[in-house]
Structure 1
């Protein structure tokens, strides 16, 4: 496989992942962190870092909006629930706190 095709496939997989996460608003970031070690916020930071590596300035807010599909504050108001004590404990344990 040539590099261009690989890049196109990776981009398509990324777009599919982002669309999937935008559709699955029932999946909370803390659950993703506890199970997979990353969340939507991590993905937005990676997106922004990739832009900066290429000399493209993008704000944290713009990167988050790309991943969440709406402004972050709006997503939180619509979809984020308070973490349960169990979720918080799992997060603390997974992150060595």
Structure 2
């Protein structure tokens, strides 16, 4: 497989993952994704932003989230996010530290 074809297949797989999370399973909460898998939609939007920045494209956190979510993040939250239990919030604190904070340091 040549490099361009590989790149196109990887991009298609990313778009399918995004579509799955945004259209097929908007009911799955970010906190549940983070607690179970160590990443969530916000991580994907941050990785998108970081990839753009690495290529010299000026994109901030809000712009990265809007590009990934297809709408302003606050609109997504209002339509799809539910309150998390104290137990889920505590598990999230651990997962975020292990998967985000510790990797940044």
Give the TM-score of the pair, scaled to structure 1: 0.90
Match of 1:87 in 2: 88
RMSD across aligned positions (CA) = 1.4
Query: What is the distance in 2 between the residues matched to 1:71 and 1:10?
Result: 25
In the alignment, is the contact (CA less than 8 A) between 1:34 and 1:91 conserved in 2? yes
How many residues matched? 96
Q: Which residue does 2:27 correspond to in 1?
A: 26
Alignment of 1:16-55 (within 5 A): 16-23=16-23, 24-55=25-56
In structure 1, list runs of 5 or more residues that go unmatched: none
| C-alpha contact (below 8 Å) 1:45/1:63 kept by paired residues | yes
Write the distance in 2 (CA, Å) between the matches of 1:58 and 1:88. Answer: 29
Provide runs of 4+ in structure 1 moved above 4 Å. Answer: none
Q: How does the TM-score come out when normalised to structure 2?
A: 0.83
Query: Greater shift after overlay, 59-68 or 46-55?
Result: 59-68
Q: Which has the higher helix share?
A: 2
Distance verdict in 2 for CA 1:36–1:77, change over 3 Å: same
